Amino acid sequence: MKKVFGRPQSLKDNAFHYCAGCGHSITHRLIAEVIDELGIRGRTIGVPPAGCAVIAYNYFDIDMLESPHGRGCAVATGIKRTLPDRIVFSYQGDGDLAAIGTAETFHAANRGENITVIFINNAVYGMTGGQMAPTTLLGQASTTSPPGRSAALDGYPVRMSEILSHLEGARYIERCAVNTPANILKARRAIKKAFQYQMDGIGFTLIEFLSHCPTNWKMTPIEACRWVDEVMSREFPVGVIKDAGAKGPKP
Amino acid sequence: MQGNRVIGEAAIRAGCRFYAGYPITPQNELTEYMAENLRKTEGGTFIQAESEIAAVNMVLGASAAGARAMTSSSSPGISLKQEGISSLAADELPAVVVNIMRGGPGLGNILPSQGDYFQATRGGGHGDYRTIVLAPASVQELADLTMDAFDLADRYRNPVMILADGMMGQMMEPVVFKKPKPRQYPDCYVMKGAGGGRSKFIRALILDAIRMEEHNWKLHRKYQVITKREIRHETFKTDDAELLIVAYGTAARIAKGAIKRCREMGIRVGLIRPVTLWPFPAEAIRRFSERVDTFIVFEMNTGQMLEDVRLALNGAGTVHFYGRPGGVIPTPMELTRFIEHHTKNAWDRESQQEREG
């Protein structure tokens, strides 16, 4: 008998604590599959954030150094500069990356740090219970924007990937979703490309995931997956935002 | 050589291979020295970070990845670094943090001050932790203690702070660099990828209360060992002293000047100078109370180490305080007058009591 499907080696045999229908577990699995496929498990170091993925080290069977809230790109910079031949990725949510850690993310991209950032955009602060995030859509209700996000009072959703794409040091940025099998396959390709670029010394790469959060969106998993397509991806269009990989390794 | 630059040179000689910093006066020469020299050193990384917060978190990453790592700043910037210092302590990662203190609170000014004593010796950031705090009082000591700081950080896997002030950072004195000891840091603590073996993780988040408590007690036991083994202090003219000044860093130098003047006037004053501010030389100070009755705590603040001296004496002896906060550098003359005032008053009282008796 031939084994056709199994747990990636880079994932531990632990049940995810994520809510039913959450996008995190899919993303975890995709990263682990890519690490296995590239054969880099032994030399990959991950940096989990503060947020829903704070105990990602319970799932990834690779070396991991937890970062204080928002500082993932700074911590990853310290690791990568010390061990340039390791594959270093930071895994961050939207509050972590686009609010408290904006400066660290922006400047790591601008320095062209040869790291990969996995950016989970679920349009809310998940772990703390569904507060408004920088990426919360206009009109979207959250516990800190109960009537819906108001442009006048709360500002606009931040398109971090587009902003970062203007920086010379950022070499590859793609926005993906994990709400359908087709999108999941695209996302897997994007992660692989980002890691491959890092291995080739190309520079800063970031993959944003529109990640469904049924619990805090107060939807069923199926409704949440639909909402990604019908509402969220209008504000945050999926696709390649920048690919300067052909420029080769950063000078 | 200038104090700030000496710290940089001592760090590089001690094997520091990662430095991240952010400009702030009066410590800029240290950042500049590292920019100039660390990138020339094999395997050396210098990063001018986007903030103090980013700098200390880069140090956290580099330290976990096995580099001897350092960051530096001055008072307002050290406040920003506290998040990272707390994380380093929680993660049990070695790092050296230099604070070239200036006047505060807030932005304060750029003049020498000792206003960050509480912050440095009580941990500084959130949570139940301590950092080893070294207080140099000369450029030579900046060199020696910087090298020692890396060894101590490795030995206890804990952040070590060099607590100096703008005077120490800016002044120039001759210096001899000692030969650094070879680094002793077990490879098992270095995060470098799992290789063919088991993966590991370093984290500060422990959601389970009992396990978090265990971690706190584990850290506490380590701090007890540090307190037992690593206390350092210097004494100066204490053999025949009737009165003792307790001062550290720049204030201790000023105190030495005052002691010279007092002794010319026949007042037998000595100095006890804590070199480690945490752990604090409480026992040494207490022992002096067996033969000295009057203590003068002298600081460039409104009275911070004063509390530790009072705790050490626990009611034994009289404690006076003289301090100038805000970046004022007190002169030996004004301290002399203060000492004179207190000794004279004390002796006057004694003679009065004798007359009345």
Give the contacts of B80 (CB within 8 A, at least 6 positions apart). Answer: B51, B52, B53, B56, B73
Q: How far apart are CA A67 and CA A87, in angstroms?
A: 17
Whether B36 and B172 share a structural domain: yes
Q: What is the pLDDT of residues B17-26, one digit of tens each?
A: 999 999 999 9
In chain A, whose CA is at the least distance from the CA of B54? A74
Over range B140-159, report the average pLDDT: 98
Question: Which amino acid is it at B307?
Answer: E
Instruction: Using pLDDT thresholds of 50, 70 and 90, give the confidence band for residue B347.
Output: low
Say yes or no: B194 and B343 in one domain: no
Is A176 in contact with A238 (CB distance < 8 Å)? yes
Q: Are residues B210 and B247 in the same domain?
A: no
A&B contacts, CB < 8 Å: 139
**Cβ-nearest to B50 among A66, A79, A107:** A107
Q: Which residues of B touch A (CB under 8 A)?
A: 17-18, 20, 45, 47, 49-51, 53-55, 57-67, 69, 83-84, 87, 91, 191-197, 199-205, 207
Which of B185, B211, B229 finishes a domain?
Answer: B229
User: Does A16 score more than 80 pLDDT?
Assistant: yes
Q: Is residue B51 very low, low, confident or very high in pLDDT (cuts 50, 70, 90)?
A: very high
Task: Let me know whether B240 and B218 are in one domain.
Answer: no
pLDDT band of B352, cuts 50, 70, 90:
low
Residue B168 CA: distances (Å) to CA of A53, A85, B140, B305: 44, 39, 10, 19
Distance between CA atoms of residues A7 and A25, nearest Å:
12
A111 Cβ neighbours under 8 A, 6+ residues apart: A77, A169, A204, B47
Domain range spanning residue B322? 234-356
Asked whether residue B213 falls in the same domain as residue B115, the answer is yes
- pLDDT of B351 strictly over 90: no
- pLDDT value of position A1: 83
pLDDT score recorded for residue B262: 97
Note whether B93 and B116 are same-domain residues.
yes
CA separation (Å) from A216 to A126, B61, B317, B357?
A: 7, 32, 63, 82
Q: Nearest C-alpha of chain B: how many angstroms from A142?
A: 25
Chosen domain end from B176, B195, B229: B229
Q: Give the pTM.
A: 0.96
Residue with tokens 């049940």: A15
Report the CATH number that the domain containing residue B188 is assigned in CATH.
3.40.50.970
Round to whole Å and give the CA distance between B293 and B111.
Answer: 34
Band the pLDDT of B345: cuts 50, 70, 90: low
Q: Which two tokens stand for residue A88?
A: 């270093």
| pLDDT at site B350 | 56
| B204: closest chain A residue by CA | A66
Q: B109 and B19, same structural domain?
A: yes
Which of B93, B199, B206, B211 is the best substitution to test chain A (most A C-beta atoms within 10 A)?
Answer: B199
Q: Name the residue in chain B with its Cα closest to that of A60.
A: B199
Percent of chain B with pLDDT over 90: 96
Domain CATH code at residue B251: 3.40.50.920
pLDDT band of A111, cuts 50, 70, 90: very high
The reply to whether B162 and B299 lie within a common domain is no
Residues B170, B267 within the same domain: no
Of A47, A65, A68, the CB nearest to B83: A68
Together in a domain, B238 and B225: no
Q: Which of B65, B84, B194 sits opposite A79 (nearest CB)?
A: B65
Tokens of A2: 């031939």
How sure is the predictor about A182, in pLDDT bands with cuts at 50, 70 and 90?
very high
Q: Name the domain count of chain B.
A: 2
Residues B248-258 have a mean pLDDT of: 98
CATH architecture of the region A23-247:
3-Layer(aba) Sandwich (3.40)
Q: Does the pLDDT of residue A176 top 60, yes or no?
A: yes
User: Token digits for B55?
Assistant: 């700098």
Q: List, for residues B167-204, the tens digit of each pLDDT value.
A: 999 999 999 999 999 999 999 999 999 999 999 999 99
- How far is Cα of residue B340 from the mean position of the Cα atoms in its chain? 30
Instruction: Please say if the pLDDT value at position B346 is more than 70.
Output: no
Spatial distance between the Cα atoms of A160 and B245, rounded to a whole number of angstroms: 57
Percent of chain A scoring above 90 in pLDDT: 95
pLDDT at res. B349: 52
Residues B183 and B91 in one domain: yes
Let me know whether B170 and B209 are in one domain: yes
pLDDT at B357: 47
**pLDDT(B344) > 80:** no
pLDDT digits (tens, 9 = 90+) for A187-217: 999 999 999 999 999 999 999 999 999 999 9
For B112, residues 6+ apart whose C-beta sits below 8 A from its C-beta are: B26, B101, B102, B103, B165, B166, B167, B168, B250, B300, B327, B329
Domains in chain A: boundaries: 23-247
Q: Cα–Cα distance between B307 and A8 in angstroms, integer? A: 57
